[in-house]
Structure 1
Amino acid sequence: MPERHAPGDRLAVERRTIEAVPDSERHGTPRSQFTLWFGANMQITAIVDGALSVVFGADALWAIPALLLGNLLGGIVMALHSAQGPRLGVPQMISSRAQFGVFGAVLPLLLVILMYLGFAATGSVLAGQAMSAMLHVGTSAGILVFGALTAVVAVTGYRLIHVAGRIATVVGALGLGYLMVRLFTQYDVGAHVGGKGFDAATFLLAVGLGAGWQLTFGPYVADCSRYLPRETSTRATFWSTFAGSVIGSQWAMTLGALTAAVAGKAFLPDQVGFLGDLAGPAFLAFLVYLVIVVGKLTVNCLNAYGGFMSILTTVTAFDRRSRVTPATRAAYIVGFIAVSMVIALAASDDFLNNFKNFVLLLLAVFTPWSAINLVDYYLISRERVDIPALYDPDGRYGRWNAAALGSYLIGIAVQVPFLATKLYTGALTRKLDGADISWIVGLLATSALYWLWARRSANPPDETVHPALPEPAGVPAPPAA
């Protein structure tokens, strides 16, 4: 499909926020989703996520297929969210008002904002360490420099984020490919793999880490596909997003699992430094640090972009706005990044353990949300949405939706006996030898409950209702391609 904008506006500051994107501004092909999500996953936090499966007890021989299984299962859910973007042209959390109501969607939104802050902060810690090694400054200074870079790209918006994704795809493939080769040439990897037998608890932990990684993209993945032309194939959008995210994350997590297997406790104190040492001479170490920064820049921009969208969606639920000025948009993004920097600067030294518990806790919160959104969109509403009503508390979807909110809260509650986190271990988890299957229980229970409850009260339109959107006041129409 041809681009609908002239190449000259590629780095122009994005003017759309939470309103529906008109057809005149739709552009691109599904290939852009592959490079964006491949690049966003080829980064050090995914390496750490894979390393956790080995650090907390699994043998890499079993951890790698378990991570793959988790990435495949979670990737299906994540890509189904992405496929909604071209059809609706609105941010993901705006579309969830169709299930929860205009006010009711605020409940999961508040948790989404916390998630974005958490991932932005933890990613900034690792990127700050890489910046520190590159620039020979303190880690705090590295975090601040990285925050400034994130602000520039995120404020510029959608197009520049996709450019960053394409760069991260190439840089990440070369950098992580090189590190994989170095790992096998510097260590006897075979001697560190296969020493332990199969253990169900650690296997399921690794599955949960892989699935949790993918599921946490769900609340913002359609933000990155909503500019695709409306006629874009749902199948093409799904597979491009799925392949990019799963291949990228599995590559990085496999490197992480093998690195943790050969490094043992040496990987725990300084993950960034260990990878720099693995790279070899100082110049190559510098390039690996650059790979880390580029990869983290892409995904942190997505976190800031999605965080801004979620905050604005929350605020506008009560004042009925559907758009804000560019200056307000920039202020939201910079404010979000500033808060994440403060959290990063105060981060605990126990980074790995805290990150593991953070990911597993997010699973319990976002699995029910994903179940409700997907069951409603694909099975109950059958992809028919009244888009103008998403911005009107007095419209078709109302202020609150009891079926969605009730199913969501019950979906979280049914997971509690199956949780296995540092703060709480469920009674049934102990009987399963510590295996965490809470996200599976939450996904199945919430899907079934919401389907039974909502199908009797749902009122979807006969076909999707698209708004007639005028151009923003004072802003000229985009040039013809």
Structure 2
Amino acid sequence: MPTEPEAPGGRLTLEHRTIEVIPDDERHGTPRSQFTLWFGANMQITAIVDGALAVVFGADALWAIIALLIGNVLGGAVMALHSAQGPRLGVPQMISSRAQFGVYGAVLPLVLVILMYFGFAATGSVLAGQAVCEMLHIDNAKVGILIFGVLTAVVAVTGYRLIHLAGRVATVVGALGLGYLMIRLFTQYDVGAHVGEKGFEAATFLLAVGLGAGWQLTFGPYVADYSRYLPRDTSDKATFWSTFAGSVVGSQIAMTLGALTAAVAGDAFLPNQVGFLGDLAGPALLAFLIYMVIVVGKLTVNCLNAYGGVMSLLTIVTAFNGRSRITQAARTAYILGFTAVSVAIAMAASADFLSNFKNFVLLLLTVFTPWSAINLVDYYVISRERVDIPALYDPNGRYGKWNVTALTCYVLGIAVQIPFLATKLYTGALTKKLDGADISWIVGLLVTAALYYVWARRTSNPPAETIRPGEPGAGAPATRAETLVG
């Protein structure tokens, strides 16, 4: 495989950029790097578990696979549209959301984003910690979680170059490992006898669609953190399709394996997902290799969670202290702190992993669907890709402190989903009339997009062209129309 052009300083040099704009002379690489990153990040154990959930909670494996594909495609398209913003703007995803919510207003979705990062990092650490214990023959799961947490911190502190390298490694080992497990599944079990047993059920089908879409949409708040390093003239289409293909194909392979495994294994898969896959691999050496595949795959995506979580924390902090750059030492401290908290959460995780994880994914879908709708409608339809980049760091600039339009639409976008929710904690009144089918995220996406489009057309004031640091117009004071939302 041809190598990517090297970034200044070499692959293993500590990253020194955080939330600031990436200068053109530090941009490098091709969209292909987005494919390997997101393919590797999705070819992993948590995606397998996500696919298994659809079957565990009642869907037939065949209908579950079809529904997961629909969800992955729909959610992956939204996620890839966020990715295409990266090369154009050169800023982290949640910094760019200040253009919609205001410099202070963006803190509201950011708090929820950080909770998401902690949740996914913790659940990933539980599964990867189990694999570490199996590899090293350790009986204490907390030791395995701690070892994996140290690995995560090392890669995340080094930064995006090493994360990309981990993604390329995970792409190869994930494809080989999951491909081998798929072969073993078909040779050890009569898979055909467990597929097509049940008829179509709308409720379980829509649950599986939601699991696939929710999986993809949770990448939205940080996908541009990695595409922002691509050269500014990188094709939007190339960035979109590379990200989309990597994320959708990788996740669908893993989720298909999960759905089929849950169908043939039944209750044997529920108490120990990692151990079951190790047993499926066969002899001890092959089981060891599969555990290694699990660790490598989870390492890639856990580093994304740690990296993205720190970017979100820094976006909140700098909104109020007025800074646009953070020292390397401070960045390292934030990453170590984030990793320590996620490890602590993992060690205290509930034993009812599958049920809690399903509700966690669906809850994230509820809060991130409106955010994606607002960000994408504003960027592609209202502003037409024109952004005042210096104003993203200035509470007194074009975007102001708070954007009432976006914040109101965001809250309403969450509220309108409540009657359609189907979770362990709450089932909406309209959900009961739909025989338990959860369509909340579809309602939230459509209602939020329509409401924001109608309202923002009158209140938005994008620049005539994108304004970049050091260019004419950068740092210009806000007009009266602009201060209405500040």
Counterparts of 2:160 and 2:189 in 1: how far apart (Å)? 41
Shift of 1:139: 1.0
Q: Which amino acid aligns with 1:125?
A: V
Work out which of the residue numbers 309, 325, 328 in structure 1 matches 2:327: 325
Residue 187 (structure 1) aligned with residue 208 (structure 2): no
Paired residues of 2:86 and 2:226 also in contact (CA < 8 A): yes
How far residue 468 of structure 1 moved from its aligned partner, in angstroms, is: 3.3
Match of 1:386 in 2: 388
Q: Is the 8 A contact 1:5 1:25 kept in 2?
A: no
Structure 1: 5+ residue stretches without partners: 470-481
Question: How much has 1:308 moved relative to structure 2?
Answer: 0.2
CA distance in 2, matches of 1:468, 1:329: 25
Once residues 179 and 432 of structure 1 are traced to their aligned partners in structure 2, the CA distance between those partners, rounded to angstroms, is 37
Distance 1:48 1:395, change over 3 A: same
Q: Out of 437, 440, 443, which is 2:439 matched to?
A: 437
The question of whether the paired residues in 2 share the 8 Å contact of 1:54 and 1:60 is answered with yes
Matched, 1:105 2:106: yes
Distance in 1 between residues matched to 2:243 and 2:120, nearest whole Å: 20
Deviation beyond 2 Å, 4+ runs, structure 1: 1-8
Q: Does 1:73 align with 2:74?
A: yes
Q: Give 1:9 shift.
A: 1.0
CA distance in 2, matches of 1:45, 1:75: 17
- Contact 2:6/2:29 (8 A) holds in 1: no
Give the counterpart letter for 2:34 in structure 1: Q
Does 2:460 correspond to 1:458?
A: yes
CA contact (8 A) 2:4 2:33 kept: no
Report SS of the residue matched to 2:172.
helix
Amino acid at match of 1:194: G
After superposition, the C-alpha distances for 1:316-366 in whole angstroms (9 at most, x for unaligned) are: 100011111111000000100000000000000000000000000001000
How many residue pairs match? The answer is: 469
CA–CA separation in structure 2 for the residues paired with 1:275 and 1:6: 38
CA deviation string 1:162-217 (max 9, x = no partner): 00000000000000000000000000001111110000000000000000000000
Match of 1:258 among 254, 257, 260: 260
Preserved contact between residue 31 and residue 239 of structure 2 (Cα < 8 Å) = yes
1:215 is matched by which residue type in structure 2?
A: L
For the 8 Å contact 2:7–2:27, the answer to whether it is kept is no
Instruction: Report if aligned partners of 1:276, 1:288 keep a CA contact under 8 Å in 2.
Output: yes
Q: 1:371-450 maps to which residues of 2 (within 5 A)?
A: 371-450=373-452
Report the counterpart of residue 477 of structure 2 in structure 1. Answer: none
Stretches of structure 2 that go unaligned for 5 or more consecutive residues are 472-486
Tell me the residue number matched to 2:299.
297
Query: How far apart in 2 are the matches of 1:203 and 1:2?
Result: 41
AA partner of residue 218 (structure 1): G
Q: Is the 8 A contact 1:369 1:408 kept in 2?
A: yes
CA distance in 2, matches of 1:5, 1:193: 47
What do the CA deviations read for 1:256-314 (whole angstroms, capped 9, x no partner)? 00000000011000000000000000000000000000000000000000000000000
Q: What are the within-5 Å matches in structure 2 for residues 43-442 of structure 1?
A: 43-137=44-138, 138-442=140-444
| Alpha-carbon shift at residue 6 of structure 1 (Å) | 5.6
Structure 2 CA distance for aligned equivalents of residues 400 and 294 of structure 1 = 41
| d(CA) in 2 for partners of 1:420, 1:2 | 46
Q: Give deviations 1:11-40, integer Å, cap 9, x for gaps.
A: 100000000000010000000000000000
CA contact 1:128–1:144 (8 Å) conserved in 2? yes
Q: TM-score, normalised by structure 1?
A: 0.96
Structure-1 separation of matches of 2:25 and 2:339 = 31
What's the offset of the Cα at 1:136?
A: 1.2
Q: Deviations over 1:403-457 (max 9, x none)?
A: 1000000000000000000000000000000000000000000000000011101
Instruction: Assess if the C-alpha contact under 8 Å between 1:43 and 1:292 holds in 2.
Output: yes
2:394 maps to a residue whose letter is D
Q: Is the 8 A contact 1:2 1:27 kept in 2?
A: no
Cα pair 2:8 2:26 within 8 Å, conserved: no
The CA distance in 1 between the partners of 2:99 and 2:348, in whole Å, is: 38
**Contact 1:134–1:290, Cα closer than 8 Å, also in 2:** yes
Preserved contact between residue 2 and residue 28 of structure 1 (Cα < 8 Å): no
In the TM superposition, residue 10 of structure 1 has moved relative to its aligned partner by 1.1
CA distance in structure 1 between the aligned counterparts of 2:337 and 2:375, rounded to whole angstroms: 29
Percent of aligned positions that are identical: 82
The 2-side partners of 1:5 and 1:465 are apart by 28
> Cα offset for 1:109?
0.2
**Retained in 2: the 8 A contact 1:4–1:26?**
no
- Give the Cα–Cα distance (whole angstroms) in 2 for the partners of residues 224 and 414 of structure 1: 32
